[in-house]
Structure 1
Amino acid sequence: MKYKLGDFVRFVDEKMEGFVTRIIDDQMIGVTGEDEFEIPVLASKVTTVHGYEPAGTKGTPNATEEPAIQGEFERKGIYTGVVADAKANSVVHFYLVNNTSFQLLATLTTEQQQVFKGEFAGMIAPKSAVKIYSAQLADLQLWPKFIFNVIYSTKQNVEPPAPLVLNEKFKAKDFSATKKAVPLLNEPGWMIRLDEPEMVIDAQKLKESFFKSPEEKIVLDKPAKEVDLHIEKLRDDYQFLQSSEILNIQLAHFHKMLDAAIVHQLPDMVFIHGAGNGTLRNELHKALGKHPKVQTFMDARKEKFGYGATKVIFK
């Protein structure tokens, strides 16, 4: 298969173009156009359109010559940066980010059901990043295990660390943090640390922790009178979460805001949960019906929310 996820292609027989968003098999690919619909097509029926560069490819050469080191020698800082394609948002690109002063000889092998495949092998210069893999975002649960092998090298008078060997099976929790600018790429994405820093134990702080007073108060900020429980308002990584995880997050936020409203003695509060299949609404109503501080609850402002919001009146 000569095409990769994120490639910009044009149909041979039709006036259509788009981005490769799925590799179906050795003969078929999925292409998504401006209408955001994915069309299965024979790979022989499209051709590459040159000139398009995926997110993060500019200024990230796979250099083989070690540049001169400026300033302090950095020994730590190897990451996997995961960045969504600028044009095909359903595709993410994986970069090996070398924020150290070492030159790295790195390989990536994927493994799925005892089937191994070499995906990348090459040199990564200090302070540079190289794309090593691409995948469909919606297929996170189906991603293979990643096997990283990294050897450190430098012409400086610095002892290199032992080779890094890491098996990583990415999960939704790895993408629970808010997107941040990935170093060296200047693109928003997620960072997964591969060379974990060594844990340093402060003996004095450890000693103090044994004598720490248990009388620590949990401070609850005063909440707004309307609380939106839609998952996209609570988490940036909601597209990675399963339905059960989404419901647990929504219920946890509901209980936190309910407690805050009671602490601050609010007379009432509106929870916006959406209509959907009614699961979240039913869970909220069950909890409210048993709560000793709740006087009553009802559907809130049907003209605005329909059956998608519940108003709670406190005692």
Structure 2
Amino acid sequence: MKYKLGDFVRFVDEKMEGFVTRIIDDQMIGVTGEDEFEIPVLASKVTTVHGYEPAGTKKAAAEDKPVILGEFEKKGIYAGVIADARASSVVHFYLVNNTSFQLLAALTTEKQQVFKGEFADIVAAKSATKIYSAQLADLQVWPRFIFNIVYSTKQNIEPPAPLVVEEKFKAKDFSTSKKAIPLLSEPGWLIRLDEPELVIDAQKLKESFFKSPEEKVVLEKPASEVDLHIEKLRDDHQFLQNSEMLNIQLAHFNKALDAAIVHQLPDVVFIHGAGNGILRHELHKILSKHPKVQTFMDARKEKFGYGATKVILK
């Protein structure tokens, strides 16, 4: 298969073009156009459009200049994940080398005891390069990633032992907000591969044995309207299954309800949306049994429709 995820292609027999967003098998690919619909097509029926390079195609590197010994960075190797700027259903993985070492790096994937070498190359100091691409919707079935990294430098510095890291990425790995990827101009998620050494402070450890276990739990005063839409609660909602999203929304609801009770609010509105009604049903089931709830009702329909519930507290 000569095509890769994120490649920009044009149909041979039709006036259409788009991005490769799925590798179906050795002969079929999925192409997504501007309408965001994925079309299965024979690989022989499309051709590459030259001149477009998806995010991460080029290596990003600092200028080749000597590293001052005092500035030599020994830590800072990451896997960076960035959504393709034009085909958002595709994400690209980069090996980000923010150290002063040159790296001999290899990526192998494993799925059901089938191993495949995906990448092997030299990654210069202070550089980042694309190593893998995947379908975002297939997160739950992504393979296991095996990174093998050997450090090298021409300076009089002892390199660390070779780094071997195995990762099975899950939705929780993308639960944090996007941040700027070092050495690249794109926002994305960072997964640290060379974890910093754990330094144990013996004195603080000793003091911790004598600390009182009693700690006050501080609940911030909630707003009068609490939005439970999943996109308001998590930046990584596109990675989550429906059951995971519901659990997150219910946890946020319970925390906000407890805070409203602690701060003695007379009432609070929970915006849950209309949707399929599952979240609304679960909220009403909890509220109907809660000892601190006087009553509840649909909030102002002219503002929320049937997408919000007003709770009157005792």
- Report the AA paired with residue 27 of structure 2: Q
Contact kept? 1:66, 1:154, Cα under 8 Å: no
- Report the AA paired with residue 264 of structure 2: Q
Give the C-alpha shift of residue 279 in structure 1.
2.0
Residue equivalent to 2:25: 25
* SS class of match (2:260): helix
Contact kept? 1:103, 1:152, Cα under 8 Å: yes
Contact kept? 2:55, 2:85, Cα under 8 Å: yes
Give the C-alpha shift of residue 190 in structure 1.
0.5
Residue equivalent to 1:159: 158
Contact kept? 1:66, 1:103, Cα under 8 Å: no
1:82-115 superposed Cα distances (whole Å, 9 cap, x missing partner): 0000100000000000111110001111111111
How far apart, CA to CA, are the structure 1 residues paired with 2:243 and 2:36? 27
1:164-215 superposed Cα distances (whole Å, 9 cap, x missing partner): 1122111111111111101011211011111111111111211222222334
**Superposition misfits of 4+ residues, deviation over 6 angstroms:** none
Residue equivalent to 1:5: 5
Mark the runs of 5 or more structure 1 residues left unpaired by the alignment.
Answer: none
- Report the AA paired with residue 252 of structure 1: A
Residue equivalent to 2:294: 295
How far apart, CA to CA, are the structure 2 residues paired with 1:78 and 1:66? 19
1:248-298 superposed Cα distances (whole Å, 9 cap, x missing partner): 111110011111111222111110112223221122112111222111001
1:103-150 superposed Cα distances (whole Å, 9 cap, x missing partner): 000111111111111110000000001100000000001111111111
Deviates more, 1:272-281 or 1:133-142: 272-281
> What do you get for the CA RMSD once the two structures are aligned?
1.6
Counterpart check, 1:254 vs 2:245? no
TM-score when normalising by structure 2: 0.95
How far apart, CA to CA, are the structure 1 residues paired with 2:34 and 2:239? 23
Question: What is the 5 A alignment of 1:110-125?
Answer: 110-125=109-124
1:22-55 superposed Cα distances (whole Å, 9 cap, x missing partner): 1111111111111111111111111111111212
Question: What is the 5 A alignment of 1:19-58?
Answer: 19-58=19-58
How far apart, CA to CA, are the structure 2 residues paired with 1:214 and 1:239? 38
Equivalenced residue count is: 313
Counterpart check, 1:220 vs 2:228? no
Residue equivalent to 1:272: 271
How far apart, CA to CA, are the structure 2 residues paired with 1:288 and 1:202? 47
Gap change, CA 1:114 and 1:215, over 3 Å in 2: closer
Deviates more, 1:294-303 or 1:177-186: 294-303
* SS class of match (1:206): helix
Residue equivalent to 1:147: 146
* SS class of match (2:108): strand
Aligned identity (percent) is 85
Residue equivalent to 2:283: 284
Give the C-alpha shift of residue 56 in structure 1.
3.4
Contact kept? 2:58, 2:129, Cα under 8 Å: no
* SS class of match (1:184): coil
